A and B are shown apart, each in its own frame.
Chain A
Amino acid sequence: MLIDFIILMKQELIITVIIFILLLLKIGTDISNEKILNLANGLLLLNLAAGFVGNQQGMLFNEMFLTNPLIVLEKNILSLGTLIVSLQSADWLKKHDHVPEFYILLLCTLLGMFFMISAGNLLMFYIGLELSSIPLAAMANFDLGKRRSSEAAMKFIMSSAFASGLLLFGISLVYGATGTLTFSEMAGHITGGSLQVFAFVLLLSGFAFKISVVPFHLWTADVYEGAPVAVTSWLSVISKGSVLFAFVSVLYTVFKPMAATWYNMLFVLSVLTILIGNLFAIRQNNIKRFLAFSSIAQIGFILVGITGSSQLATASVVYFVLIYVFSNLAAFGVVALVSAVTGREQVSDYKGFYKTNPVLSWVLTIALFSLAGVPPTAGFFGKFFLLMSGAGKGNYVLITIAALNMIISFYYYLRIVKAIFMDANEQPIERLIIPAYAKLAMVICIVGIIVTGLAGYVYDYIHSLSFGF
């Protein structure tokens, strides 16, 4: 029993241990930031490595907690993202007074995400979700001197609380309609009655808030802009990725009998999300806001994939999140570095960037190309598979809209590329020295962007673990 417990929950246990180590260090010793960063990065690497050892299927605590190879893989993707974010923020944290606290909060949210993905029960799911969002508000406020940062935290906590309220209301209605909160039992009671549809809409809205689907996206840009870059990248990649994983599993297991109902909802939401995200991204001048809206559009594409509801769809979503981790974090890595050294965050600041920083320019360009879906970067494969899984339902209207929206997204990604390579600038960003950790993170991301796509094995592996109907 104890052995089972340790094996099945190994990732959660490791994270908990790391949290305690950092907590004790904070209380007990007077250790330099430098050492804490080294230690934390080392531990995160260990955590990532441990995730690949042993791949068990099973459940604990009366189906409260389930795990299977796909869930382990999803957690590994999140661990990988965490490691990259941690490496990228090293330069910013070095001068910060509260490094251990940052890591403790960060890992608490990661722990919450792990529980959320592994949940086999709506209550467990809810607890995981809360654990993953409340510390985030504190993290958003981590630029302690800046008012914008506090504003971002406030906005985040308010919208997050609202979303949680919706979710909780939905959960209670689901309980009323089905008499159970366990996923496996619930599926048998879902009939598509009006109360259940109402409950589903509430649940969907809660999810939509978390992954900022239009029309629940309004908090995104402000929070992204105000929060420190490390937190923004964490929010846009890891946090959204985890909710997406949970969303897919809830949708495909619990609400499978209502597939026809939610297909139409997702159809409308995905079209809206892609379109609005794209149109707003065109007009952004702050690069963080720009990435916020582009990430909204990306979520729209993911929703197109989710409508496919086949094994292909699950695989494509997980695959895309993996690619998204690499490409978005590569972009944020450059933005974080520039912002940490020079404090400049406008798109126009990047004019003439290539003259002074060729390497960083190529990293940013490759990342943007991957986000836009240009081959041979992985983003091309990710988008291709998402749209293919959406097309599997035979709805070519949706696919056509999505494909044509790719053009708009090309426009705004290319706008940045144009600024970097083509525009002249009186005061370009000076030549930056890339710190060792950030360099490592960039190498990981670029290798990921190139290899994940071209090596068909990655997708095959994810597909072999996936499920659908």
Chain B
Amino acid sequence: MSLSILIILPLITAIALLLCNGLRQVRVVALSGAVVQLIYAFILLVAYWQQRAAGDQALMLFEEDYVWFTPLNIHYHIGADGISIAMILLTAFVTIAGILVSWSMEKLNKEFFFLLTLLSMGAYGFFISLDLFTLFFFLEVAVIPKFLLIGIWGSGRKEYSAMKLALMLMGGSALVFVALAGIYFNTQTVAGEHTFDLLQIAQLHIPVEVQKIFFPFAFVGFGVFTALFPFHTWVPDGHSSAPTAASMFLAGISMKLGGYGCLRVATLLMPEAAQAYSWIIIMLATIAIIYGAFATMMQTDLKYINAYSSVSHCGFVLLGIGMLTKTAIMGAVMQMVSHGLMTALFFAAIGMLYDRTHTRQVAQLGGLLKVMPFIATVFVIAGLCSLGLPGLSGFVAEVTVFMGAWQNAEALYRIATILACASIVVTAVYILRAMGKVIMGPLQVTDSGSSLGNTLTDAGWNEKAAAAILIIGILAIGIAPFWLTELIKQ
């Protein structure tokens, strides 16, 4: 099992895309690339289980380690544990769904799919990196395609949003860079060299006072990616301006890069500092959860609704990480996967609606269940998952986070947990309100005139396939969560 194939596959797809001509060829190549990726991700999952079942207790499996830059002891070092595998699966799911949703992309289609594939490559590389340099490299690879995707194919104030997103994410990675440099120069291997190797650093134990300086850099840096309050402002603008597939990527995968980084780099490498700062993280996460939920209530645009609710949901990820108990962290990872699938589904549904009705305003839509039953159903499933209905993945993840959080008995943590729990009520309000208005009641598509009501079509095969793939993922976690918990627990 070679993990490098995960990086090479998208790369080959991207290069093949450049040689294509016409939409037909482009989308076939892009889709087949994504299918192969998904199949490979499943093969990895099976291989991982087999190795674990065979009693392999190593921290990371499928490791590959090559020297990249000798003078700085930089390695191309990759490997995977359960969390990485879960994130790889998530990426593969969202990628294939994203490509299916943009099936009829007319404008500059070659470039669009090229950038999308490049993004997935960055995400795969990030999730399997075990060397901080490799990790940082892939983190930044995944930023610039977003700028182009939003700026070229977006809608609304796309240039502004693209620039804001790119600059804020680059600011985040600048902070991450400072943290990396600080970590690097405070490590000393047996051979007397500094190192970027995650596994080695975890054992070397960085001095506590150094941790206290660089933990905020790393955590805030990655936090920007995952909408840490008050650095969440790029989320609503970026998501709402992006084309559907890019929104799915952005919310489904990119925001998870930050959560994964907070967990793997900040918390794992600097545990004492994480302990010391955990109250700040908890407070910021709780603010994000509540603020995000209330801000969502005020939104009238469907994409903004989902964007702000993403801020709120990603707050759960940070809350779980900040609680520092095993269960809470497991919940955080589950929430990452679950939110990734759910929000991608949500954006896909919104994109399908928008393609047909040309409006995203809740007030202008109504009664769509009658004309587009499939899309409306997808919309409902995404919404119910978002508000945490049992049987869907959101419930499992959130409950795990709360259970983990409750293990922390200090007053502040208790209050934070209670407040976060209470936010679910607010979630239910905005989700049900939006859904009731859009799905039920008399048919209404104000913007495009009354005659359009009859010409509205339901989802095409590609959209159905995209939604089905994501719903399968959500149900797989929601009904049978044990496989995911087993995977992460290792």
A residues bordering B, Cβ < 8 Å? 311-312, 315, 369, 374-376, 380, 384-385, 387-388, 391-392, 394, 396, 399-400, 403-404, 406-407, 410-411, 414, 417-418, 421-423, 456, 459-460, 463
Contact = CB atoms under 8 A, between A and B. Distances in A.
B66 to A, nearest CB: 9
B74 interface: yes
B67 interface: yes
A70 to B, nearest CB: 14
30 contacts: A311-B71, A312-B71, A312-B72, A369-B144, A374-B143, A374-B144, A375-B141, A384-B177, A388-B181, A391-B184, A399-B177, A403-B178, A404-B171, A407-B167, A407-B171, A407-B174, A410-B167, A411-B167, A414-B147, A414-B163, A417-B147, A418-B151, A418-B163, A422-B151, A422-B152, A422-B158, A422-B162, A459-B71, A460-B69, A460-B70
A123 B250 CA distance: 59
Given A387-B177, A418-B162, A421-B151, A394 B185 contact: yes
Given A375-B141, A421-B151, A399 B178 contact: yes
Interface centre among B70, B140, B170 (most CB of A within 10 A): B170
B151 A385 contact: no
Contacts of A312: 71-72
Secondary structure call for the B interface: helix
Contacts of A388: 72, 181, 184
A404 B176 CA distance: 11
A380 to B, nearest CB: 7
Given A411-B167, A422-B158, A460 B144 contact: no
B253 interface: no
A381 to B, nearest CB: 8
Nearest to B148: A421
B380 to A, nearest CB: 36
A418 B133 CA distance: 29
Contacts of B482: none
Contacts of B136: 384
A407 B175 CA distance: 11
Given A404-B171, A406-B170, A456-B70, A376 B141 contact: yes
Contact of A396 (B70, B159, B182): B182
B159 A418 contact: yes
Nearest to A453: B137
Contacts of A400: 178
Contacts of A392: 185
B178 A456 contact: no
Interface string B60-82: 00000001111110100000000
B244 to A, nearest CB: 18
B72 A399 contact: no
Contacts of A375: 137-138, 140-141
Secondary structure call for the A interface: helix
Interface in B127-152: 133, 136-138, 140-141, 143-144, 147-148, 151-152
Contacts of A403: 174-175, 177-178
B186 to A, nearest CB: 10
B69 A411 contact: no
A374 B139 CA distance: 10
Given A396-B181, A417-B148, A418-B162, 6 more contacts: A375-B137, A388-B72, A388-B184, A391-B181, A422-B152, A460-B71
B220 interface: no
Contacts of A394: 185
B166 interface: yes
Contact of A380 (B137, B151, B178): B137
Contacts of B148: 417, 421
Interface in B173-203: 174-175, 177-178, 181-182, 184-185
Interface residues of B, number: 36
Contacts of B138: 375
A402 to B, nearest CB: 9
Contacts of B68: 456
Nearest to A310: B71
B137 A410 contact: no
A418 B178 CA distance: 28
Contacts of B133: 384
A188 to B, nearest CB: 29
A376 B145 CA distance: 12
Contacts of B178: 396, 399-400, 403
Contacts of A459: 69, 71
Contacts of A414: 147, 163, 166-167
A414 B177 CA distance: 20
Contacts of A463: 70-71
A385 to B, nearest CB: 7
Interface centre among A311, A391, A403, A460 (most CB of B within 10 A): A403
A334 to B, nearest CB: 18
Contacts of A391: 181-182, 184-185
Contacts of B141: 375-376
A380 B140 contact: yes
Interface centre among B69, B138, B182 (most CB of A within 10 A): B69
A399 B182 CA distance: 10
A404 B170 CA distance: 9
Contacts of A315: 71
Contacts of B152: 421-422
A115 to B, nearest CB: 30
Nearest to B182: A396
Nearest to B139: A375
Contacts of A374: 140, 143-144
B261 to A, nearest CB: 16
A422 B159 CA distance: 8
Nearest to B163: A414
A439 to B, nearest CB: 18
A467 to B, nearest CB: 13
Contact of B174 (A369, A396, A406, A423): A406
Contacts of A460: 69-71
A463 B163 CA distance: 37
Contacts of B71: 311-312, 315, 459-460, 463
B137 A376 contact: yes
Interface in B203-226: 213
Contacts of A418: 151, 159, 162-163
B181 A387 contact: yes
A465 B15 CA distance: 36
Contacts of A411: 163, 167
A404 B70 contact: no
B72 A385 contact: yes
A294 to B, nearest CB: 16
Contacts of A384: 133, 136, 177
A375 B182 CA distance: 21
Interface string B13-55: 0000000000000000000000000000000000000000000
A400 B178 CA distance: 6
B174 A456 contact: no
Nearest to B140: A375
Contact of A456 (B69, B158, B175): B69
Contacts of A376: 137, 141
B174 A404 contact: yes
Interface centre among A311, A376, A384, A385 (most CB of B within 10 A): A384
